[in-house]
Structure 1
Amino acid sequence: MAVTISDIAQKAGVSLATVSRVLNDSGYVKEETREKVLKVIKELNYTPSAIARSLSKNKTNTVGVIVPEITNPFFGEVIKGITQVAEENGLNIILCDTDESKEKELKALKVLTEQRIQGIIITPTSAEDEFNSEYLKTLENMGIPIVLVDGNVKYTTFNGVFVDNIKGSYEATEALIKEGHRKIGIITGRMNSKPAKDRYLGYQKALLMNNIPLDDKYVFYGDYKESTSYNLTKNILKMDDRPTAIFVCSNMMTLGCLKALYEDRINIPNDIALVTFDRIEILNILGFNISYVNGPSVEMGKLGMQMLVDILNNKNKNEIRRITLLPDLVLKGSEKYGSDESDSIE
């Protein structure tokens, strides 16, 4: 049978209130009485209930983390950064995966409020351009700090950590241009999200700055999904005047693109050049030298969690902080124009 505080109070010869004050380290208790209660707690091997303590304090030492795709390695690294800082500060995490569903995201937000969490770190799924009144009302009425990571919510001023997607895409496209490419295709992300729009904007800017007209036939609208990118790449390979290079705007879409190229025995970069956004560690492990824009995902998680910790500790509580990190372009040869030094995926 589980030991209760009533058992402790009875054996120590004190009131339930005294035991509660000792357990919660609140209120005055004589040192002699405190030691007596602690001795009984140890003898009975009593473990306080985290749920009961949270009810008494009306909060927990837990924060919520909401991501749109837990299987995506990018978010795995973001979560890694979040977890490191959370552990350093004695915080637990409840992780929610929305599967890029606004309905699941709303449900996650409501469930987390019922768990009396202290704050939320979220990569929002809800489209930035859609005024989702229920979504905004849910966020604004929660009464707890919210930190955004790699995704904005329009009409709000939440704290957040972001990456400079325009700069990353500009540099990726410019690297292809410097190699001699003029027909550069792009597989975009979901265009109602700010990261996808900014990456497309960086691509457009690089073409403009190098006097290359934007050709709509080389723009392929994706949705961050591997299957969609696979189908789009298949369509690209059927084109009579296909691009000599492709810029793929997310890691999961890169996997779909590579699958299609592999099936058609396309050589990178002899047959087509490729640059992607976000590192895919498994490609590096397997020796595929694919050039990529490296977003500092672990650092984003760390900074987002530290930002939340600072707010919880009343540091910068009334200051809106929005940090934008700079990505790195890692060139590994797949951007070349018909290079003989290629890594065939045949």
Structure 2
Amino acid sequence: MADVARLAGVSKATASRALGNYGAVSETVRERVATAARELDYRPNELARSMNTGRSMSIGVVVGDIENGYFGLAMRGITDTARRAGYDVVLANTSESVEAEIDAVKVLLDKRVDGLIISPASAYETQHLHDARDTGRPIVLLDRRLPGLDVPSVEVDIAPAARAATTALIESGHRRIAFISALTTDGPEFTGLPLGVSSVTDRLEGMLQALGAAGLDVSADLIRFGAVSRETTRQIVRQLFELPDPPTAVLASDSVIALDVLLALRERGLTVPDEVSFVAFDDFSWAELIDPPLTIVSQPVHQVGVTAAEVLLLMLQGGRPATQRHTLVADLVNRGSTGRPRLSARAARPQDAG
């Protein structure tokens, strides 16, 4: 800074104000300082700048699983929007662990991020998020909402599309429809709504609405949680298709689970849709490339990220969002992975291999 000030012919304090965009500095002096900084290839000490201005020009983002294409695409929307506004983005991945989320939020606050975008791992353990809000940093929830935490959320209204997907299966003759999720906050099997993650609650709510409208009972043995790896998903698929009355259709809660379920079905020798109909939540690059192309519930994921960043930037500028809950629309895209139930008897038998 001293070198920049000397070259520009101003005091160090004036150079600091000019480069930090705070305080009173004429445009002529500001341009002279900027020219000197470019000539010297000067880069400011961001920590020192944040101490002076109270702003780090950075936002923290906490997501559950960056391997999940949903969060990857949402991050693209966040970073594109933040960068245009002059903000850097610091990402933390929690693997849907509350403990990791608590640590991530603490680290980001210690790094003096100006605001946070968080996809909370659980609605049951949220004190750290209340504490973060009490620091005065703006917080926006991504993909999920938390009862009792008065901060904006940006989500997809996915229950209607889940209901439409389930209704289409019922109209095709399916009565045993399975749902598989990576959710870990509510035990391995379904015991009722709401759940610890609102986005999973919404998916199941739409499914249960369709079953109820058709006069069908909810089969708790077909709703399975804990599909957190290829092996656990394989075990869940094995358990489902060794039931006395196995499912004839499967709904996969996200793109990672969708791939693992398809692999597990293939290992059991079950074909889609001849023997099992299949619907996945989220669109992904390979969904149209496999044979048959997958029927999916498509979400405007990139726009979710853009909207979350826009809401946070508005709050950083002192504005107030028009609503606390911002919702976008999901659509059912019918392709070739669903049909009438034709489950063969071998689906219910344990396989010799695997």
User: Fold conserved (TM > 0.5)?
Assistant: yes
Q: State the identity %.
A: 31
Q: CA deviation at 1:235?
A: 1.5
Quick one: distance in 1 between partners of 2:277 and 2:29? 75
- Taking a change above 3 Å as real, the CA distance of residues 270 and 65 of structure 1, as seen in their structure-2 partners, is same
**What TM-score, normalized to structure 2?**
0.85
**What TM-score, normalized to structure 1?**
0.87
Q: CA deviation at 1:41?
A: 4.0
Quick one: distance in 2 between partners of 1:48 and 1:278? 41
Are 1:145 and 2:138 counterparts?
Answer: yes
Per-residue CA distance 1:107-159 (angstroms, 9 max, x = gap): 1111111222111111111x21x2543x2443222211111111122321210
Quick one: distance in 2 between partners of 1:63 and 1:237? 45
Matches within 5 A, 1:238-277: 238-277=242-281
Give the conservation status (yes or no) of the 8 Å contact 2:292–2:336.
no
Give the conservation status (yes or no) of the 8 Å contact 2:18–2:29.
no
Per-residue CA distance 1:69-116 (angstroms, 9 max, x = gap): 011111111111112211221211001111111111111111111222
- Taking a change above 3 Å as real, the CA distance of residues 208 and 281 of structure 1, as seen in their structure-2 partners, is same
Quick one: distance in 2 between partners of 1:273 and 1:34? 65
2:338 corresponding residue in structure 1 = 335
Quick one: distance in 2 between partners of 1:269 and 1:66? 37
Give the conservation status (yes or no) of the 8 Å contact 1:158–1:320.
no
1:159 corresponding residue in structure 2 = 152
- Taking a change above 3 Å as real, the CA distance of residues 265 and 59 of structure 1, as seen in their structure-2 partners, is same
Quick one: distance in 1 between partners of 2:276 and 2:65? 29
Q: Which of 193, 198, 202 is the matching residue for 2:197?
A: 193
Q: Which of 317, 321, 329 is the matching residue for 1:326?
A: 329
The letter for the 2-side match of 1:322 is R
Matches within 5 A, 1:1-346: 5-10=1-6, 14-29=10-25, 37=33, 40-125=36-121, 127-128=122-123, 130-133=124-127, 135-190=128-183, 191-223=195-227, 225-316=229-320, 320-338=323-341
- Taking a change above 3 Å as real, the CA distance of residues 338 and 51 of structure 1, as seen in their structure-2 partners, is same
Quick one: distance in 2 between partners of 1:27 and 1:192? 47
Q: CA deviation at 1:218?
A: 2.6
CA RMSD of aligned residues (A): 2.4
Give the conservation status (yes or no) of the 8 Å contact 1:162–1:322.
yes
Quick one: distance in 1 between partners of 2:262 and 2:243? 17
Quick one: distance in 2 between partners of 1:77 and 1:257? 22
Structure 2: which 5+ runs fail to align? Answer: 184-194, 343-354
Give the conservation status (yes or no) of the 8 Å contact 1:293–1:330.
yes
Quick one: distance in 1 between partners of 2:104 and 2:98? 10
Quick one: distance in 2 between partners of 1:289 and 1:207? 25
- Taking a change above 3 Å as real, the CA distance of residues 220 and 22 of structure 1, as seen in their structure-2 partners, is closer
Quick one: distance in 1 between partners of 2:38 and 2:208? 67
1:344 corresponding residue in structure 2 = none
Q: CA deviation at 1:7?
A: 3.0
SS in 2 for 1:282: coil
